[in-house]
Chains A and B, each alone.
Chain A
Amino acid sequence: MRSAVLARLLDLGETPAREAMGLMEALGGEMRSLILASSAQDAVAAVGDVHLGVHPALEDPDPEIAYLAAVRLIGDVPPDLLLLPEGPLFEMIGARLAGHFGMSAVRDVDEVTAESGAIILRKGAYGGKANVRLRASGGVVAGLRAGAFPAADPQPQTASIEDLGPLAEGGKERRTVRDTSGDDLGRAKVIVSGGRGLGSREGYESLRPFAALLGASLGASRAAVDEGWASPSQQVGITGRKVAPELYLAIGISGASQHLSGMSGSRTVIAVNRDEHAPIFEAADIGLVADWYQIWPHLQKALEG
């Protein structure tokens, strides 16, 4: 089998990229690391045959630039299995590359095995209510769920360097705005998340001092984002950010299955909700059937004391 990892040079030191390489090592066969970089490097820590595709616009690429660069770097013969860490790069180009090369695509894969010559990929479905195993009989681009695979420990080696040359331009008048509330939920040890049960933007804002007392990042349910109380980058859920903190506090969140799936990697979950039948309590270690606004003044006094 021919497998390859596609990643940005900037992401190589991160665990998800090393996990993708670890999976490639475990599967064996012909291995390539395809790295997108804004400048040439003398040595690159990666696995298998290492190919560095270089273009200055890859520092912070537009989706079109990233896609065109990846197509050139992959070349005429795509691998049987192309692995990308889940995240922005897969979002931008993973499935489009698959379509271009006549491969299928699967996201959020948490297990890959070889059975009787076929690759089997496991992932969640139905908002995390089910697990499915999919048998690949042709080429597949797979997005790998962070934390699901042992990481490789690649040593620096000389890469073959390809100047990707002129690429067609992407979007015009491009402007990037970083959210000032952009807590890094993916790395957070403690997350306080709020949902529709808080009732209002002011209610959601009441979580801010609570999060500050705990040194926590502030997350949100889909409903809170739809209401405009929180930014999309704060959304936790299978279609938002998947998180794995030591402690997850769900305040006024009923527990739609896609939210439960997104927080399922949390070590300890504490839920506060007025509805004793809310599904969130089935996914919590500690539950309080309570009105947050009744609890918070007492809790604030106790925590500050």
Chain B
Amino acid sequence: MRILCFVKAILDPEAPPGAIRFPGKVESGDVSTVLGPFEGNALELALQISEASAGSFTAVAMGDGAQDVALRKALALGAGRAARIDVATGFVDPLGAARRLESAAKELGGADVYIFGRQAGDWDMGVTAGLFAGLLDLPFVPLVQQAEVAGEGLRLRREIPGGYEESLRTGPIVLSVTNGPRTLMRLPKVKDVMLANRKPIDVLKPAEVGENLTLAEIAQAQVTRQSRMITGDAASQAAQLSAELRRFLVTGGGN
């Protein structure tokens, strides 16, 4: 099977609170750029399908040179080719992004399976895979947890509320991948990481597209609460917590 896997490098989502600031723009400080977590899940699935179908996959990213972190990771894991659509970093209308990915996919010769992570951890849009499927008029299966090659098709397990759904799909398809034990990205070998650093990354010219959405404002979100600490030894802490829980269960809550 021919596979295109779309990846994205983002500011480390595990950065401590306050490390990335948003005073009307994104100030990344010294936070490093890493492969997005769900893109890691997508790469793992791409790898599994390519291995099972004796095929290969191409990794595609969109952005400036910072995206090469994601592409090098894909190459180290076994991507046969890596390509970057050369656009500036910053907010991009998801429809415009999907149109550029569509153009790049055609330039790269198309695929049988197009794989995305379910949501990039920067703008948290979670819509690019669906938009891409709509533009190409291809079936779309979201939140895939597991995929097995079955003849010419794929047996897919996707997350649904309170469980999962399995089905067999044939023909070109777009998938978004979610996290789980079967999509946990394997670690590349050190030797493959070294080799990946010497492999070429194709740079593609972005398609000219219009935008339906523009960023009007970005601001810091306030999520901090005033935390009261329960201290003491384990028995004392448990007794205090028990009292809090009993009070909650009797009164129905409140601070």
Contact = CB atoms under 8 A, between A and B. Distances in A.
Interface of A: 62-64, 67, 87-88, 91-108, 120, 123-140, 170-179, 182, 184, 214-215, 222, 225-228, 231-233, 235, 238-239, 246-247, 256-258, 260-261, 264, 267-271, 279, 281-291, 294-299, 302-303
Given A67-B140, A127-B124, A284-B227, A232 B216 contact: no
Interface in B114-139: 118-119, 121-137, 139
Nearest to B169: A171
B223 A299 contact: no
Contacts of A170: 139, 167
B218 A131 contact: yes
Nearest to A176: B165
**Complex A-B, nearest 8 residue pairs according to Cβ-Cβ distance, in ascending order:** A99-B134, A95-B130, A171-B167, A182-B162, A298-B238, A138-B212, A302-B242, A104-B212
Of A129, A140, A170, A299, most buried by chain B (CB within 10 Å of CB) is A129
B2 to A, nearest CB: 21
11 contacts: A91-B143, A96-B133, A98-B131, A98-B134, A107-B126, A129-B20, A132-B219, A134-B214, A256-B14, A267-B255, A299-B238
Contact of A214 (B163, B238, B249): B249
A282 B163 contact: no
B78 interface: no
B221 A130 contact: yes
A125 B11 CA distance: 12
A126 B215 CA distance: 14
Contact of B93 (A104, A227, A279): A104
A102 B142 contact: no
Contacts of B248: 246-247, 268
A284 B228 CA distance: 8
Contacts of B220: 129-131
Of B93, B94, B127, B169, most buried by chain A (CB within 10 Å of CB) is B127
Contact of A128 (B163, B169, B223, B245): B223
Contacts of B52: none
A177 B249 CA distance: 34
B38 interface: yes
A171 B119 CA distance: 23
B180 A225 contact: yes
Nearest to A237: B179
Contacts of B140: 63, 67, 92-93, 96
A41 to B, nearest CB: 24
A162 B91 CA distance: 40
A127 B245 CA distance: 29
B127 A94 contact: yes
A88 B234 CA distance: 42
B166 A131 contact: no
A235 B37 CA distance: 15
Tell me what chain A mostly uses at the interface: helix, strand, loop, or mixed.
Answer: mixed
Interface in B198-250: 210-221, 223-231, 234-235, 237-239, 241-242, 244-246, 248-249
Interface in B1-33: 11, 13-14, 16-17, 20, 22, 26
A239 B178 contact: yes
A98 B127 contact: yes
B78 to A, nearest CB: 21
Nearest to B143: A91
A22 to B, nearest CB: 23
A225 B213 CA distance: 34
Interface stretch (B56-64, B69-77, B104-112, B153-161): B153-161
Contacts of A137: 211-214
Nearest to A267: B253
A134 B213 contact: yes
A126 B122 contact: yes
Contacts of B125: 105-107
Contacts of B91: 132
B205 to A, nearest CB: 22
B22 to A, nearest CB: 4
Given A127-B121, A246-B253, A290 B234 contact: yes
B122 A125 contact: yes
Given A99-B131, A140-B212, A298 B239 contact: yes
Contacts of A127: 13, 121, 124
B49 to A, nearest CB: 16
Nearest to B220: A130
Given A131-B219, A239-B38, A222 B213 contact: no
B130 A258 contact: no
Nearest to B253: A246
B226 to A, nearest CB: 7
